[in-house]
Structure 1
C-alpha cells in the first residue's frame, strides 16, 4: 500500500461515518472554546453536545477493540463536566491510553489538544483524527545503516479529522499537545501526517523562498515531487531528525524537561535538522537532495511566515538559521530595495557543520541544566534580539526579508485535507 494507492474500503467506510456524524459535532463544540480549552459561560447545550461526542467516540473505540481508550475518554469527560466546562480540561487519561498503531493499521484519537500550526484559532480545543500508519519503504534498510536507539515515531496518512487537523498546516501530534494539568516525563509516541507535506511545501515554502532568493539559487530538488516520493522523503527526514535527538551528551529522552525550554529547544531543533542535512550531504541516504532542499525551504522560508512568528518556536528556528547562514556567507547579497539574495549550497553545508560543532562544544562545556539554559539563551539572543512584552524575539531589519511573501500567502484560504484526496 502506498500513500496514494486505493485504501481499504473498510477504512474509508469508517472515515465517512466519522465525517458524517462525529467530526461535525467536534467542530461545533470547538467553536465554543477559548484558547485554553475552556468554554465561557457553558450552557446545558454545551454539556449535552460534549456528552454526545464522548458517547459516540467511546462507542467507536469499543467497536474497534479499544476499550481502554473508551474508558479513559469517558473518565476524562466526566471529570471535566464535574469540574465545569469553564475550567481548563484535563485529558491525561486519554493521552496516556493512546498506543501507536502497527504499520498498516489505523489510529483514532479525540481530546482537547493543540493542533500546532493549524488554521486559526489554534489552542487547546477539542479535536480528533483518523489516520493510517504507513512507514517509508526505505526504513528497514535505513534502520540498519542509521539505527535509531529508541524510535517512537509514526508516519501517518491523515484520512479524516476535525478542523485542527483537516485544515491548515498541522503535521504533528505529540502527547504534550493534549490538554492536561501535568507535564509528560517521556514521549511514548510522536505522530506525523506526512501526506499533508506536498501541498504545504509547494503552497508556502516555495513561494516564500522565491520572494527572497535569486531564481537560480532556490533549492529545487523538492519541487514538483511525485506524491509518493514526497511522502517517503519527508518520512525519512522525520526518522533521521528524531534519531539525532537521541545522540550526543544531552539526549532528548534523558533531558526532556530541559529540551522543552524555549531557548534550548530552538537550538536543539536546528541542530538535529542540520545533522540530518549533513547526513544526506555525506551520502548513503535515500532522497538526499530532496531532503536537503525540503529542510532549508521549510525551516528558513516557510516557518517564519507564521502570523505569530515572534512567539512561534518553529519560526524562531528559521529566523535564527537565516542569520547564521548570512553570517557565514551562505546567503549573500543585500535585501535592500527588493534585492534578492543568493543561496550557496556548498557554503550552506559548511555553515551547518559549523553550527553543529558550535552547539556540541557548548553542550560539552555546560555541567548543569541551569548552565545549559543560560548558555542557550545567550547564544539565541545573538541572533534573535528580545522583543516586546509577550513576544519571544523581534525581527531585525535584515531578517524582515523573510516576510516578503507573507501578505500574499496570508490571503490564501487554509489548505483542506479530506477524503476527497482518496
Structure 2
C-alpha cells in the first residue's frame, strides 16, 4: 500500500467508523425513548457520515462515494425510518484487485452477527490473495471467480461484535432483487479467532484430541495466524469454485439459490464437495481445510444464537442429521460426541452431494424448489413450528450437540 492509501485508511478509521457508530447509538436511543436520540441529532449524524464518506477519495471510487451519499440523503429525507434501500450503492461497490484496499459504508445484513436489526455499517479491507492462487487456478480453473480474499482492517460495531466473514451484494438492502454477484469480500483474517472458538466447542463436546475415529490429534489445531489465513483462503476458493459446478451453477441461478431452503442445500453441497477434494486430492493445506469445513459447519454453526433462525446453523444441523443416519455422528458411553473416520465421512457425504445434485437436475424452477424443500424437511431437518423460525431443529437427536445449542 502506498502512503496515500495508508492515510485514507487511517482517515476512514478515525472519521467514518466513529460517525457510523454514533448514528447507530442515536437510533438505538431514539427507539428506547431517550431524548438523546432526537430527530435533529439523527439528521446531523447522517450529515457526519456523508461528510466522512465524501473525504474518502482514493479509498472509494467517485461513483461509490456519490452513490453512498445519495442513498444516505434519500434515507435521511424519509426520516431515517425502517430499512433503507441502497440499490445505487450496491451497484457501485467494487471488487478490489489483489493488494488493493477498499471500503464500504451503508446498510448491510451481517450473517452470524446482528440477528434482527439492519444498521448502517462501515468497514475497510485490503485484498490479499493466498500464495497458492496460481496452483489453485491451474488445478481448479475458475474463470468466473468474483470473490476476494481480504483482511478486515477497521469496522463499525456491528461487524466487530459478530462472526460475520462475508459481504455480498445481496447483503445490501435494496428495492430491486440482486441477480448478479459482482463482488464478494471475505474477511479471512477473522478466522484465527473464530476457529479458536470452534476448537473450544469441539473439545467440550468431544473431549481433547481429535473427534475423528482413528486419529489422536487434529491437524488444524495450533496452526499459526498466517497459515490459518492461507488455509482459510483455500477453503474460500474451493467453496466458490464448486458453487459454479453441477447442474445449476450459482451464477446462472443466483435468484433461486439465494432463497433460504435451496440455498441451504447449495451451501451444504459445495462445502462437502470441497471437503471431498481436500481429502482425496492435492489441495494446498487440504488436511487443515478438511477439518475446518467439518468442524465449523457441524459443531460451531449450530451453536450460533437463535439457531432456528440462522442459515448456517441449519446447514450444521442438516449435516449432523445426515452423518448420524449413517452412524458417523454418535455419542459414546461417556456422553461425548464422536465422528467416524474421515474416509467413511467422505463416502457418506459423496452420496449426499449426489442426491442434492439429482434435485438440481430438475429443469423447472418450481419443481426444483419443491424438491429441495421436500428433501430438506423429509431427510435432514424438522419443519418449523412457528414463525419466525426457519426450521424446527435437526431430525437427529439434539443431544449430539450437547449444551452448545439452545433451541
TM over 0.5: yes
Residue matched to 2:53: 57
Question: What residue is the counterpart of 2:90 in the other structure?
Answer: 95
Structure 1-normalised TM-score? 0.87
SS class of match (1:341): strand
Partner-residue secondary structure (3-state), 2:392: coil
The answer (yes or no) to whether the contact 1:122–1:164 under 8 Å persists in 2 is: no
Instruction: Tell me the TM-score normalized by structure 2.
Output: 0.90
- Aligned counterpart, 1:417: none
Structure 1 residue aligned with 2:304: 306
- Tell me the residue number matched to 2:371: 375
2:345 is equivalent to residue 351 of structure 1 = no
2:388 counterpart of 1:362: no
* Contact 1:195/1:231 (<8 A) preserved: yes
Q: Deviations over 1:214-249 (max 9, x none)?
A: 545426121111111111111111111011111111
Matched, 1:187 2:181: yes
CA contact (8 A) 1:330 1:345 kept: no
Of the candidates 331, 335, 340, which is equivalent to residue 338 of structure 1?
A: 335
Q: Distance in 1 between matches of 2:260 and 2:86?
A: 24
Q: Distance in 2 between matches of 1:74 and 1:230?
A: 37
Q: 1:136 aligns with which of 110, 113, 130?
A: 130
- Provide the rounded CA distance (Å) in 1 between the counterparts of 2:43 and 2:402: 43
The alignment partner of 2:108 has SS state of strand
Among 183, 195, 201, which residue is 1:201 paired with?
195
Q: 1:255 to 1:33 in 2, by over 3 A?
A: farther
Instruction: Give the CA deviation at 1:17.
Output: 2.9
Change in 2 beyond 3 A, CA 1:132/1:352 = same
Question: Quick check: 1:194–1:234 contact (8 Å CA) kept in 2?
Answer: yes
8 Å CA contact 1:329, 1:347 repeated in 2? no
Report the CA distance between 1:387 and its aligned residue: 2.5
* Partners of 1:385 and 1:232 in 2: CA distance: 37
How many angstroms does 1:401 deviate by?
A: 2.9
CA distance in structure 2 between the aligned counterparts of 1:29 and 1:81, rounded to whole angstroms: 12
> Retained in 2: the 8 A contact 1:154–1:191?
yes
Superimposed CA distance per residue, residues 243-290 of structure 1 (whole angstroms, 9 cap, x where no aligned partner) = 111111111111111112211111111100000011111122100000
After TM superposition, the structure 1 = structure 2 runs for residues 13-24 of structure 1, keeping only pairs within 5 Å, are 13-24=7-18
User: Which residue in 1 is equivalent to 2:205?
Assistant: 212
Q: Which moved more, 1:379-388 or 1:237-246?
A: 379-388
| Equivalent position of 1:123 in the other structure | 117
The corresponding residue for 1:418 is none
- Given that 1:323 and 1:399 are in contact with CA atoms closer than 8 Å, whether structure 2 keeps it comes out as no
| Equivalent-residue separation in structure 1 for 2:324 and 2:107 (angstroms) | 41
1:151 to 145, 156, 165: 145
Structure 2 portions without partners, runs of 5+ = 213-217
Structure ranking higher on relative contact order (CA contacts 8 Å, 6+ apart): 1
Contact 1:217-1:344 at 8 Å conserved across structures: no
**Deviations 1:116-144 (Å, cap 9, x if unpaired)?**
212x4653201011111000010112101
Contact 1:100 1:154 in 2 (8 A): yes
Kindly state the Cα deviation for residue 188 of structure 1 after the two structures are TM-superposed.
Answer: 0.3
Other-structure match for 1:3: none
Distance in 1, matches of 2:75 and 2:124, equals: 24
- CA positional deviation for 1:388: 2.5
Match of 2:100 in 1: 105
Deviation at 1:183, TM superposition (A): 1.3
Q: 1:72 aligns with which of 49, 67, 71?
A: 67
**Could you tell me how far apart the structure 1 residues matched to 2:143 and 2:366 are?**
27
Q: How many residues align?
A: 393
CA RMSD in angstroms comes to 2.3
Alpha carbons 2:328, 2:338 under 8 Å: kept = no
- Structure 1: runs of 5 or more not aligned: 1-6, 408-422
Counterpart of 2:244 in structure 1 is 246
Q: Deviations over 1:31-69 (max 9, x none)?
A: 3447xxx99986011011101111211221x35472111
Residue 215 of structure 2 corresponds to which residue in structure 1?
none
Is the 2:302–2:313 contact (alpha carbons within 8 Å) kept by the matching residues of 1?
Answer: yes
Find the partner of 1:388 among 380, 385, 389: 385
- Once structures 1 and 2 are overlaid, which stretch shifts more, 250-259 or 188-197? 250-259
Distance 1:300 1:85, change over 3 A: same
Distance 1:239 1:342, change over 3 A: closer
Q: Runs of 4+ in structure 1 displaced over 6 angstroms?
A: 38-41
